[in-house]
Amino acid sequence: MPVIVKPINFNNDMSNTDKQSGQIRQIPVNIVKNKETGAKKMADIIAGVIRAKQEKGENAVLGLATGSSPIAIYQELIRLHKEEGLSFKNVITFNLDEYVPMSPDSENSYNKFMFKNLFDHVDINKSNVHIPDGTIKLTEADDYCTEYEEAIKASGGLDIQLLGIGRSGHIGFNEPGSTKDSLTRLVELHPVTIADAAKDFGIGGSVPQRAITMGIKTILNAKKIILAAWGKDKAPILKEMIEGPVTTEIPASYLQYHHDVRVFADAEAANDLP
């Protein structure tokens, strides 16, 4: 698919807009029949990165996401491992985020999620798994986040980053107001994100107000980015991310700066796109 360079729309409200004049691009969107079809395509892309690195005798460094969007992708990766011999022996992973405070053993932790939905079912070396530590003391968070960034760099950088998108416009937990230069850091969650997470925490459970997240710059430094959007709730934000101006108000719109990003959307999520 050709890459279309589109002009920054200076007629929009730019009060909170990133005015950096870097080249921005129309993000290519694959509209897929359903989530399962899209997940299969996305898993194939990730498997392709892993295999290409294997052939060169190198590690594949994956940036991974949690939430409902990647589950079908992880199921397909597990199937590729069990039925088609895809090995994760050369895979190093860095997850986007984790709630703070959060014990890694909690049912609501992203740590638990990742082992339950992927790592426990493939042959990854567990010492190659990196998930932000939700038990970190607030006073130690800055140093911890710097170390997380350094670990990504030391591994050779992210070969591919898998993303979902939040209704607040977040990627990772980069909520509105996040800057293009942001790195891994402690953040406050947006009320929409807290409301959306409440269903996972059940009646009486309270959603943490903070999280550690990779930054926008951390994400944009990935060599390749793929983003999954399933269901009608994602339609309005997907439209803003793809067609709107690049703005701190919609952090996902920063993806317009990336040279190799692709969105996979089902018909419902793509409903507001032309």
Q: Which residues are catalytic?
A: 175
Tokens describing residue 243: 């067609």
Q: Which residues, in sequence order, are CB contacts of 191 under 8 Å at separation 6+?
A: none
Site string for ligand F6R, 36-65 (x = CB under 6 A): -----------------------------x
Tokens describing residue 82: 């069990």
Asked if 220 touches ligand F6R (CB under 6 A), the answer is: no
Asked if 77 touches ligand F6R (CB under 6 A), the answer is: no
Nearest approach, Cβ of 98 to ligand F6R (angstroms)? 8
Asked if 227 touches ligand F6R (CB under 6 A), the answer is: no
Nearest approach, Cβ of 165 to ligand F6R (angstroms)? 6
Binds ligand F6R (CB under 6 A): choice among 18, 27, 42, 66: 66
Q: Which is nearer to ligand F6R, 8 or 197 (CB)?
A: 197
DSSP characters over 17-71: B-------BPPPEEEESSHHHHHHHHHHHHHHHHHHHHHTT--EEEEE--SSTTH
Nearest approach, Cβ of 30 to ligand F6R (angstroms)? 17
Q: Dihedral (C-alpha) 119, 123, 126, 131: value to the nearest 10 degrees?
A: -30
Residue 6 CA to residue 67 CA, distance in Å, equals 31
Residue 198 CA to residue 108 CA, distance in Å, equals 10
Q: Which is nearer to ligand F6R, 87 or 201 (CB)?
A: 201
- Residues 138-177 close enough to bind ligand F6R by CB under 6 A: 164-166, 170-173
Residue 109 CA to residue 90 CA, distance in Å, equals 25
Q: Which is nearer to ligand F6R, 8 or 61 (CB)?
A: 61
Q: Which is nearer to ligand F6R, 95 or 128 (CB)?
A: 95
Distance of CA 24 to the CA centre of its chain: 20
Nearest approach, Cβ of 192 to ligand F6R (angstroms)? 10
- Residues 84-113 close enough to bind ligand F6R by CB under 6 A: 96-97
Strand partners of residue 161: 63, 225
Asked if 68 touches ligand F6R (CB under 6 A), the answer is: yes
Q: Which is nearer to ligand F6R, 90 or 221 (CB)?
A: 221
Q: With contact defined as beta carbons under 8 Å apart, do 193 and 170 qualify?
A: yes
Residue 59 CA to residue 159 CA, distance in Å, equals 9
Asked if 224 touches ligand F6R (CB under 6 A), the answer is: no
Binding residues (CB under 6 A) for ligand F6R: these are 65-69, 96-97, 164-166, 170-173
